[in-house]
């Protein structure tokens, strides 16, 4: 947990969630202050159909290389696009 004070005074993330489930932020708005933070959102996922046998081979090779099938396919597509462009 952060060392920042919490309006809820809860000692855990679960406790904070339970507090805000039963309270309204507008009642505490004067106790808030502006802050800045970055949000690291995951990559957008797009799905493409892949033949079952090819999919099995990709998963097998990815396991042997110690990476996920997603990572392996992304690397291959990046390499191929670099060759083309």
Q: Where are the domains of the chain?
A: 1-37, 52-84
Residue segments in the chain with a per-residue pLDDT below the cut of 50: none
The confidence score (pLDDT) of residue 67 equals 95
The confidence score (pLDDT) of residue 1 equals 57
Note the pTM of the prediction, 2 decimals. Answer: 0.50
The confidence score (pLDDT) of residue 3 equals 56
C-beta separation of 72 from 65 below 8 A: yes
The confidence score (pLDDT) of residue 5 equals 62
């Amino acid at each position: 947990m952060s060392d920042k004070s919490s309006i809820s005074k809860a000692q855990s993330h679960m406790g904070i969630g339970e507090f805000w489930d039963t309270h309204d932020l507008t009642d505490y708005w004067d106790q808030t202050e502006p802050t800045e933070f970055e949000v690291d959102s995951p990559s957008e996922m797009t799905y493409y159909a892949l033949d079952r046998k090819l999919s099995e081979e990709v998963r097998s090779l990815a396991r042997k290389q110690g990476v996920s099938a997603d990572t392996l396919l992304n690397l291959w597509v990046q390499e191929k696009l670099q060759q083309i462009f």
